[in-house]
């Protein structure tokens, strides 16, 4: 028997069949009942022996169908605005129901809550047409074929849903100005992906878990939107095979993506993959992702911005095949007018730990601060390739240790490096490598570069350098310790410059195993080299090898060097200004 309740149902409200009411309803009571029916406020209760479909058919739009705990072998169609709720749980059995979906929704404003939907051949909850709004709350879907959730609507809300062992992902398609919200959702062991969202102007995913799915754990695609806002917070994507943990494809419009407090571990492709104009990533923990990809991959536009902070990316795997030399990166950023990286740990990734490429940008500002970049197996710790425009790069308070190529490699017009600690990097490269332009500037201060490794093969005599600078109209080195590097401790080459000013001050440059302390070459222009308060002792070749027309050396030590304290390549020693030195 289906019971009608006007003010909520309880045991005392129910009336057994055949009993006469205690009191005849008054005209007022009848009016109240009719009014509440018209306003859609009635509740029909489905008992275990009743049909959910019959209750829906009897209900007025806007009403509620309350389902008692039992197993229901039905395929239900909801063709009016209703709330279907099982407050104590109800089980929909797809094997008993036959080939249809558990719930087919053909109306807007439907809310489904509290059901467990199992073993349906064509899905658990599906929308027959695009609807204005649908809400699914506290629903469990398992062992359903196809898409367990297949929802199309302007406003789609999922809260507390759990999907396990289904054939496909939960699929949501919104409109170009629609909203999708998924909160406290679990998507586990789908044969394909976990959660797929297409279109929608605003996408909010909070406390979502996508685990052990056969493709990408969480996939967001722009569809026909141009300009999409996506927020993913407090979520987990783990062990998804055949795809990434989280992939946000972008719309090529004014997209803004925020990812915060997300764990992505052991996914077969990227841990996180994002394409958007504005990207903010914070508090992520990415481990053991990828074989031919990156732990975190971001593609921005020429005028976009990228911010990465307070995160850990480690042990991104690298396919060791011959064609995979650039893979296994920790973080890979392409594009973005501004790129900011702060308080990020990059540890034991297979390729470059952090690679920033200009993409479509022409003039890029990159800042990397307060970060640790340690022990990769192939590639540099930090590599910034530049855009050949008016690029500015700032690196401050960064540790780069035991990376197989450069500790830090930068190409930019203006470069500022301070407070870095570079140790035991490189085999055929430099601890710190900088390439600037003919009118650029390079400043290195308050840093330590030591024990850059030198490959002893016959063709590698100049490798294992501490710092290598090419280009830059001005090069300033202040308060830098260059210690026991394999090749030249500091090598400055003019590149495209004709007339270069090089200043080295308040620094210690000792113990090169195969090279000079400071080498600054002749550019063929009006070069000026100034050395002040520098200790360049015990290097295997010269303390200083300088090629400028104007050389000034003051308060400087160059003792115990294998070839002597000073080599002047362009002028005689009598033409140089040397005070209180050697």
Beta bridge partners of 186: 162, 209
| The pLDDT of residue 100 | 86
Confidence of residue 293 (pLDDT cuts 50, 70, 90): confident
Q: Is 551 a residue whose pLDDT tops 90?
A: yes
- Cα pseudo-dihedral 331, 192, 225, 186, rounded to 10: -80
CA distance 479 to 505: 6
Residue bearing the bigger pLDDT, 129 or 204 = 204
pLDDT, tens digit (0-9, with 9 covering 90-100), for 456-509: 554 444 578 999 999 999 999 999 999 999 899 999 999 999 999 999 999 999
Identify the residue whose tokens are 């990769």.
376
Q: How many angstroms separate the CA atoms of 57 and 46, rounded? A: 12
| Burial degree of 496 (CB within 10 A; 0-12, 13-18, 19+) | middle
State mean pLDDT over 416-441.
Answer: 92
pLDDT at 461: 47
pLDDT of residue 266: 96
- 88 by Cβ neighbours in 10 Å (0-12 / 13-18 / 19+) ranks as exposed
Which single residue is written with the structure tokens 């029909």? 44
Is residue 572 within 8 Å of 544, Cβ to Cβ? no
Lowest mean pLDDT among 159-168, 224-233, 426-435: 426-435
CA distance 10 to 205: 36
DSSP class of 322: G
Structure-block tokens of residue 368: 């990397």
The distance of Cα 254 from the centroid of its chain, to the nearest Å, equals 18
Q: Among 490, 487, 497, which residue's Cα sits nearest to residue 436?
A: 497
Question: Over the stretch 262-276, which tens digit does the pLDDT of each residue have?
Answer: 999 999 999 999 999
Give residue for tokens 């090898």. 545
Q: 518 - beta bridge partners?
A: 490, 544
Q: Tell me, what's the pLDDT at 1?
A: 53
Model pLDDT for residues 15-56, shown as the tens digit of each residue: 333 333 333 333 333 233 333 444 446 999 999 999 999 999
Higher pLDDT, 85 or 461: 85
Asked which of 376-390, 432-446, 561-575 is least confident by mean pLDDT, the reply is 376-390
Residues 295-318 have a mean pLDDT of 93
Phi and psi at residue 29, in whole multiples of 5°?
-60, -45
Q: Cβ–Cβ contacts within 10 Å for residue 29, how many? A: 12
Other beta carbons within 10 angstroms of residue 255's beta carbon come to 25
* Residues found in the chain: 582
Find the mean pLDDT for residues 201-208: 98
In the beta sheet, which residues pair with residue 562?
none
354 versus 452: the higher-pLDDT residue is: 354
As to burial, measured by CB atoms within 10 angstroms (0-12 exposed, 13-18 middle, 19+ buried), residue 219 is buried
Vertex 503: Cα angle to 499 and 508 (nearest 5): 145
Bridge partners (DSSP) of residue 151 are 172
Q: What is the pLDDT of residue 11?
A: 46
Rounded CA separation 113/67 (Å): 10
Predicted confidence (pLDDT) per residue in 331-382, tens digit: 999 999 999 999 999 999 888 999 999 988 889 999 999 999 999 878 899 9
Cα 43–Cα 185–Cα 225 angle in degrees, nearest 5: 95
Output the pTM of the full model: 0.91
Q: Bin 123: left if φ > 0, else alpha if -120 < ψ < 50, else beta.
A: left
More confident residue, 249 or 224: 249
Burial state string for 401-422 with b = 16 or more CB within 10 A and e = fewer than 16: bbbbbbbbbbbbbbbbbbbbbb
Q: In whole angstroms, what is the distance from residue 244 CA to residue 194 CA?
A: 11
Reported as a pLDDT band with limits 50, 70 and 90, residue 222 is very high
**Statement: residue 76 has pLDDT above 70:** yes
Dist. CA 45–CA 52, nearest whole Å = 9
More confident: 198 or 3? 198
Beta strands in 37-167 (DSSP E): 43-46, 63-67, 71-72, 76-78, 82-93, 103-105, 110-118, 125-127, 131-137, 140-142, 149-159, 162-164
- As given in the structure block, the two tokens for residue 119 are 């073993």
Gap between the Cα atoms of 271 and 330, Å rounded: 10
Candidate from 20-24, 75-79, 337-341, 538-542 with smallest mean pLDDT? 20-24
Nearest to 266 by CA among 242, 285, 287: 287
Q: What is the pLDDT of residue 37?
A: 43
**pLDDT over 90 at 94, yes or no:** yes
Compute the Cα dihedral for 33, 36, 38, 40 and give only its sign. Answer: negative
- Total H helices, total E strands in the chain: 3, 47
pLDDT of residue 180: 98
What pLDDT is stored for residue 463 in this prediction?
76
Q: What is the mean pLDDT of the chain?
A: 90
Residue 280 is encoded by which pair of tokens? 């903010």
pLDDT (mean) for 96-120: 95
Q: Write the CA distances from 251 to 225, 270, 281, 334, integer angstroms.
A: 6, 19, 18, 16
Around 503, how many Cα atoms within 13 Å sit in the side-chain half-sphere? 14
Minimum mean pLDDT range among 144-158, 439-453, 461-475, 561-575: 461-475
Measured CA to CA, the distance from residue 377 to residue 420 in angstroms comes to: 21
Residues with Cβ within 8 Å of residue 412, at least 6 apart in sequence: 364, 366, 384, 386, 391, 392, 393, 434, 435, 436, 440
Strand, coil or helix: what is 262? strand
- Quote the percentage of the chain above a pLDDT of 90: 78
Cα separation, 23 vs 21, whole angstroms: 5
Q: Identify the bridge partners of residue 51 per DSSP, sorted by sequence position.
A: none
Average pLDDT for 230-239: 98
Instruction: List the beta strands (DSSP E) in 289-328.
Output: 294-299, 305-314
- Please tell me the distance from the alpha carbon of residue 274 to that of residue 339, in angstroms, as a whole number: 14
Tell me whether strands 110-118 and 131-137 are parallel, antiparallel or unpaired.
Answer: parallel
d(CA 440, CA 428): 26
In the predicted model, what is the mean pLDDT of residues 91-103? 91
């Amino acid at each position: 028997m289906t019971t009608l309740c006007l003010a909520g149902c309880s045991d005392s409200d129910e009336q057994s069949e055949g009993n006469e009411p205690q009191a005849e309803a008054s005209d007022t009571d009848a009016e109240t009942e009719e009014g509440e029916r018209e306003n859609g406020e009635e509740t029909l209760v489905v008992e275990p022996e009743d049909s959910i479909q019959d209750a829906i058919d009897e209900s007025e739009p806007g009403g509620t169908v309350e389902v008692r705990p039992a197993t229901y072998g039905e395929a239900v169609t909801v063709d009016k605005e209703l709330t279907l709720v099982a407050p104590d749980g109800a089980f929909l059995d797809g094997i008993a129901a036959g080939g249809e979906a558990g719930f087919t929704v053909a109306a807007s404003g439907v809310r489904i809550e509290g059901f467990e939907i199992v073993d349906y051949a064509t899905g658990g909850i599906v929308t027959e047409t695009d609807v204005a709004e649908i809400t699914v709350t506290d629903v469990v879907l398992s062992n359903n074929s196809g898409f367990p959730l297949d929802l199309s609507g302007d406003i789609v809300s999922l809260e507390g849903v759990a999907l396990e062992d289904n054939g496909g992902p939960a699929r949501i398609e919104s409109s170009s100005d629609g909203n999708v919200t998924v909160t406290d959702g679990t998507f586990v062991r789908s044969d394909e992906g976990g959660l797929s969202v297409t279109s929608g102007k605003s996408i909010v995913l909070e406390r979502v878990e996508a685990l052990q799915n056969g493709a990408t754990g969480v996939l967001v695609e722009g569809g026909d939107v141009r300009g999409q806002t996506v927020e993913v917070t407090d979520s987990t994507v783990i062990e998804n095979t055949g795809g990434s943990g989280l992939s946000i494809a972008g719309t090529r419009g004014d997209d803004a993506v925020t990812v915060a407090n997300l764990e992505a571990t052991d996914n077969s492709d990227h841990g996180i993959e994002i394409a958007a104009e504005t990207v903010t990533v914070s508090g992520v923990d990415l481990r053991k992702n990828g074989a031919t990809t990156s732990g975190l991959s971001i593609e921005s536009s020429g005028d976009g911005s990228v911010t990465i902070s307070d995160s850990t990316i480690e042990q991104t795997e690298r396919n060791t095949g011959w064609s995979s030399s650039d893979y296994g990166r920790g973080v890979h950023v392409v594009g973005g007018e501004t790129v900011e990286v702060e308080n990020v740990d990059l540890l034991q990734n297979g390729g470059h730990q952090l690679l920033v490429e200009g993409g479509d940008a022409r003039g890029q500002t990159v800042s990397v601060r307060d970060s640790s970049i340690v022990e990769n197996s192939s590639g540099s710790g930090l590599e910034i390739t530049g855009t050949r425009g008016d690029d500015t790069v700032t690196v401050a308070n960064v540790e780069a240790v035991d990376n197989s190529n450069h500790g830090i490699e930068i190409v930019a017009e203006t470069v500022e490096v301070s407070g870095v600690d570079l140790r035991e990097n490189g085999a055929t490269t430099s601890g710190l490598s900088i390439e600037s332009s003919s009118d650029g500037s390079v400043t290195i201060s308050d840093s330590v570069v030591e024990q850059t490794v030198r490959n002893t093969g016959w063709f590698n005599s100049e490798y294992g350098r501490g710092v290598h600078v090419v280009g830059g109209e001005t090069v300033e080195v202040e308060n830098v310790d260059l210690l026991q590097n394999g090749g030249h401790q500091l090598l400055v080459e003019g590149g495209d410059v004709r007339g270069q000013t090089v200043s080295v001050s308040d620094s210690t440059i000792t113990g090169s195993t195969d090279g000079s302390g400071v080498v600054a070459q002749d550019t063929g222009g009006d070069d000026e080299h100034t050395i002040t308060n520098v200790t360049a002792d015990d290097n295997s070749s010269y303390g200083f090898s300088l090629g400028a027309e104007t050389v000034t050396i003051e308060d400087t030590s160059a003792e115990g060097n294998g070839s002597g304290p000073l080599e002047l390549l362009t002028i005689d020693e009598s033409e140089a200004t040397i005070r209180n030195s050697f």
